[in-house]
Structure formats: structure tokens, C-alpha cells
Amino acid sequence: MLYLTFLLCFLCSILITPIVKKLAFKVGATDNPNQRKVHLKIMPRLGGLAIYVSFILGLLLMHPDSQYHAAIVVGSVIILAAGILDDIYELSAKIKFLLQISAALIVVYWGGVHVDFINLPFGGNLYFGAMSVPITVIWIVGVTNAINLIDGLDGLAAGVSSIALITISAMAIVMGDPYVMTMGAILLASTLGFLIFNFHPAKIFMGDTGALFLGYMIAVLSLLGFKNVAFISFVVPVIILGVPISDTFFAIVRRLYNKNPLSAPDKSHLHHCLLKLGFTHRQTVLLIYAMSAMFGLAAVIFTMTTVWGSILMLIIILLAIELIVESIGLINANYKPLLKIVQVLARNRQ
């Protein structure tokens, strides 16, 4: 039944996307080119509505059962409403943020989704106590915005989200979690159908409707799959979402380092830096897909190694991220502490 539902959601997304495209022009949900955008003509957004409708079709067909289900769906409606209103009327950041927090609080208080503790790698538990709710809300809102921030090139957010969903669904199968596996597969099929129209050159953008919805769902599903588990497993969703989380983290670092406001937009995100290096639009997207796939593979391997092997792998991942950041100038052209150390060591060896 799941395979048939997957196919139906995929086909539904393909059939609905052109309809949503026409609707976007009618309601004024369009994206105009400016100095921060890479597209050169007016583009319809609101494409995430096609993903959502296809996703709801999958839920109606599969009836996934979980104590968290009702709260997750209600939260998704709030997120969808925030995205639609922003795509049409461009909501203020404050209102969008409040709506995201509202959706997260519904999942936490009504659904009961929150991380209470983690098992430490060398024995004992770390209980979050009163911090359990804030940590969970920060995770949901943070990942929601991380996916939104990487939605800067044709097919980028949809492709990265699809790779994350493949990893989450595959690991849910291994962990024996049918709910996360079913929800992840339905959402994956709906996203892939839309990606046909969104890959470069895009015919429609997913807009905040899609980016916020995908970010919210990925945040919640990854949390469900790895809550109240060992410390090493707790790191897994962070690795799975390595690309959007890293890009968001270094955007904050970049603005602090350059003494710019945290809310100030710029053209120095990962995809902007790769474009500046000379990669084409399509090459940049495919390269970031490859990075996301590597993070997904690393997450799977991460769960299969020993504690010491996982720690070593985590150190290697962090060093690799730092080297990439310095090489492409993700913070700024002069920020190269690790590369300078490598250069000094190389000179000394000569």
C-alpha cells in the first residue's frame, strides 16, 4: 500500500503543480528579481501548496497512526498558512517567527513531542528538565528556517530536503519506526513530483509555503526518530541536516564577525559563494546535493560505529566543514584560521 501511495502522491504533485502555478499569478504570489536574487524574470512562488496537497492525499490514503499525529498536522496547517500569507503579502519576520513558535508549541504541548534526556556515551543520563521544551522549540524553529534560508537556487531546497527525507525514512526502517517511515516517504514523493518543475531552469518556486512546511516536517520527523536516545544518535539528525544547519550557523557567525545585524540579508550563503567561484547554477545545485548526500551517508555510518569511532568521525566532519567554509569564503575572504595553520605547518616541514 505504501508503494502505491508513494506513486499516487508523486503523480498528484506533478498534476497539481501547474494548477498552483496559475493560481500564484492570479493571487499575486510572485517573486520579482532584485540585487539579492539570481533569477532575472518574475517567477510564481506558492509551489509548496502542491507539495502540501499531495502530502495530505497520502495521509488520507495511509492513515498513519501515532499519538503525535493530530498535533503535527495542526502545526503544519499553521506553518502552511504562514507560508501562503508570506508568499502573497510578504509578512514581517516577527509575525512569521511567532507563527513558527506557535506550531512548535502545539507539537510540544499537545503532541507531547520533546526531548527529555539523552544517554551520555560513557554512562549516565543528561536530563534537560525545564530546558526540554525550549530545546525542542528551538530545534523545530531552527530547522524550519534553515531549510528556508537555503532556498536560493532552482531545486536547491527541494533536493536537499528530499535527500534528508530519504535518510530519515531509511533510518526509520532500520529502527522499526513505521510512523516516521510512512510520513517521510509520503512527503518525499510529494517533494520529488514538485522538483520536476522546480529544478533548473525552474518553472515555479516553492516559496515560503514550501520551504517552511518542509523545514517544519523534517524538524519534527527527525526529532521523533531520535528523541530520548543515546548522545551519539542525538547527533544524527544534526548530521543529516548538515548543509542547511551549517549554512545557517555560519550566516550567524558571518554577521557577527562582520558586525552586521543578524536579520540583515546578504549574498554570502553557500550557494552564493559557489556561484562566485565560477560554478554554474546547475553545477552549484548538484554540488550541494552531493554534499547533502555525503552528510546523509555519514549519518548512517555514524550509527554503526563504536563510540570512539563516532567521536573520531564527528571531529573529521567538523574539520571538513571548517576547511570548506574557509576555502569558499563563507564568512569572508580573510577568515582562514585553519588554512593559515596548515600553511605554517607546511612551511616548517620544508
* 266 marked among binding-site residues: no
Range of the domain at 293: 2-349
What's the whole-model pTM score?
0.91
Average pLDDT of 222-229? 71
User: What is the number of domains present in the chain?
Assistant: 1
Specify which residues 30 forms β-bridges with.
44
The annotation status of 148 as a binding-site residue, yes or no, is yes
Answer whether residue 350 shows pLDDT above 80: no
List, for residues 244-288, the tens digit of each pLDDT value. 989 888 888 888 887 777 767 777 888 889 988 899 999 999 999
Residue 47: φ, ψ to 5° = -60, -25
Residue carrying C-alpha cell 556515551: 121
SS3 309: helix
Residue among 131, 129, 161 at smallest CA distance from 47: 161
How far is it, in rounded angstroms, from Cα 321 to Cα 105? 32
Give the residue with greater pLDDT, 263 vs 191: 191
